[in-house]
Amino acid sequence: MVVPPENAPPDNDVLWARSLHYAHDGAPALVDVSLGVRQGEILALTGPRGSGKTTLLRCLSGQLRPTEGEVWFNSVPVHTMGDLSRERLRRDRFGWIGPEPQLLPELKAWENAALPLLLAGASHRAAKHTACEWLDRLDIGSFARKRPASLTRAECQRVALARALVTVPSVIYADEPTAPLHRADRALLLRTLTTAARSHEITVLLATDDEATAAVADRHLTLVDGRLAGTGAVSPLPDTPEGQAACSLSA
């Protein structure tokens, strides 16, 4: 029998962090943050501007190495991984969408959306097919051959969402993804994100300071000055095995 190490995280959390600390140039941005997130759970990270939401997402996704503390993904330690392994993990298992679409201007919409697949070695044809399917679901299939300069900001943000979803990642980190959008565009983006998450059991960490956006989540955690300040269920969890399983916090 394999005995798990004493300090290993619980098996049933897809993402788990213990006592995270992070300082930007010596200024603390995260202080002693611990959390666990179940597969398929949509977790809202709320809190005022500057409270540490982005820093936490970046630590959990392996973009930043915490100053102290641990991050585990599917019982694998991320905080001790080398740079190459962390890059591969982010490319293959994680998706990211931020407040700005950050598309490559020289690439067409479908090429931007297909990038993670192309970088992972998928054939051009297969990557194009999958990317165009996601663009269709986001109602921008007809713009697949356009470049970002000829798209609106909202359309670019949908391309960025397609890029985050195209590998059907285990976890999507969504950092204020609706911030640049008007109400109708917000609703479509959130609906697509949550529908995809529910149907593919993708875990979503959604950082937002907008109450309406946070309301799509199963649970929320609030950060204040880099510390966890509160937690709660946003809406009743669905009456499914995934829904029943989807809640854990060790703060």
Ligand X SMILES: Nc1ncnc2c1ncn2[C@@H]1O[C@H](COP(=O)(O)OP(=O)(O)OP(=O)(O)O)[C@@H](O)[C@H]1O
Contacts to ligand X by CB under 6 A: 24-25, 29, 47, 49-55, 209
Smallest gap, in angstroms, from Cβ of residue 1 to ligand X? 42
Q: Which two tokens stand for residue 62?
A: 């392996």
Smallest gap, in angstroms, from Cβ of residue 123 to ligand X? 38
Longest dimension (CA), the chain: 59
Smallest gap, in angstroms, from Cβ of residue 160 to ligand X? 17
Query: What span, in angstroms and rounded, lies between the C-alpha atoms of 197 and 183?
Result: 21
Q: Which two tokens stand for residue 80?
A: 């001790």
Nearer to ligand X (CB atom), residue 17 or residue 166 = 17
Which single residue is written with the structure tokens 């960025």? 160
Nearer to ligand X (CB atom), residue 107 or residue 229 = 229
Strand, helix or coil for residue 54: helix
Nearer to ligand X (CB atom), residue 128 or residue 219 = 219
Smallest gap, in angstroms, from Cβ of residue 222 to ligand X? 11
The amino acid that residue 28 corresponds to is P
Nearer to ligand X (CB atom), residue 4 or residue 50 = 50
Can you give the C-alpha Rg of the chain in angstroms? Answer: 18
Q: Which two tokens stand for residue 115?
A: 């990038």
Nearer to ligand X (CB atom), residue 97 or residue 246 = 97
Smallest gap, in angstroms, from Cβ of residue 44 to ligand X? 13
193 phi/psi in degrees, rounded to 5 = -60, -45
